Amino acid sequence: MFTGIITALGTVQAIEPLGEGKDMRLVIATPWPDTAAIALGASIACSGCCLTAVSLHADRFAVDASAETLACTTLGTWKIGTQVNLERSLKVGDELGGHIVSGHVDGVGTTLSKTAENGSIRWRFQVPMALARFIAAKGSVAIDGTSLTVNDVQGDTFGVNIIPHTASVTRFGTLAPGDAVNIEIDMLARYVARLSDMRIAETR
């Protein structure tokens, strides 16, 4: 489990195919001072995707991504030099500064626009209609692993505001219209929608 509070901005350092299939090993450089001290097998959220650390060094770590993960997230488009939002898993007693994030990407969204709005930037994203029903104004959403509050919703598009600090410590600093992003809907919204669907089915 994670909180959606990004603690480092990593960079893809190497991409290595695994075996004869389409799985890949991704080596990610990190500014963390204690990367080598992370437990082997630990979970690390990489731009919102929960991955297992399979190799650890002083300034980098490696994770393996299956063909399914590469196809269903933005990871399949990563190249050497791609910036990655990083967060280590939540520990009991840690401050929950964002919202509960599982690290299981629900789908890929598209960055539509960025507009200056007072001291922040209003970003707009489009998501598949299957996910749009779970996104509500003033609710939570994780974009590339970053916990954010939804400001407005219009059909399959929604907007969030990014303050300068968030832009400086996450991938939002280099994000551009047209870029794909990993989307994880709020866990609470998922279960509320499920219960609503069940009640509707029971009344038919």
Please state, as a whole number, how many other Cβ atoms lie within 10 Å of the Cβ of residue 77: 11
pLDDT of residue 98: 82
Q: Residue 96: what pLDDT?
A: 77
Q: Which domains does the chain have, with CATH numbers?
A: 8-88 (2.40.30.20), 107-197 (2.40.30.20)
What integer pLDDT is reported at residue 17 of this predicted model? 93
How many Cα atoms are found within 13 Å in the side-chain-facing hemisphere of 79? 0
Tokens of 10: 């990593």
Q: How far is CA 154 from CA 9, 28, 150, 176, in A?
A: 31, 36, 11, 21
Q: How far is CA 46 from CA 121, 182, 195, in A?
A: 23, 10, 31
Q: How confident is the model over 28-46, as pLDDT tens digits?
A: 999 999 999 999 999 999 9
Instruction: Kindly report the number of other CB atoms within 10 A of residue 4's CB atom.
Output: 26
> What mean pLDDT is predicted for residues 4-28?
94
With cut-offs at 50, 70 and 90, classify the pLDDT of residue 190: confident
Whether 13 has a pLDDT exceeding 90, the answer reads: yes
pLDDT score for 145: 97
Nearest to 85 by CA among 162, 144, 27, 166: 144
Q: Comparing 10-24, 113-127, 182-196, which segment has the lowest mean pLDDT?
A: 182-196
Name the CA radius of gyration of the chain, rounded.
17
Render pLDDT for 84-130 as a digit per residue (tens, 0 to 9): 999 999 887 777 788 889 999 999 999 999 999 999 999 999 999 99
Q: Is the pLDDT of residue 199 over 70?
A: no
pLDDT at residue number 198: 60
Model confidence over 129-181: pLDDT tens digits?
A: 999 999 999 999 999 999 999 999 999 999 999 999 999 999 999 999 999 99
Per-residue model confidence (pLDDT) at position 197? 64
Residue 194, pLDDT above cutoff 80: no
CA–CA gap between residue 184 and residue 204 (Å, rounded): 31
Q: Which residues contact 108 (CB under 8 A, 6 or more apart)?
A: 72, 73, 74, 128, 180, 181, 182, 183
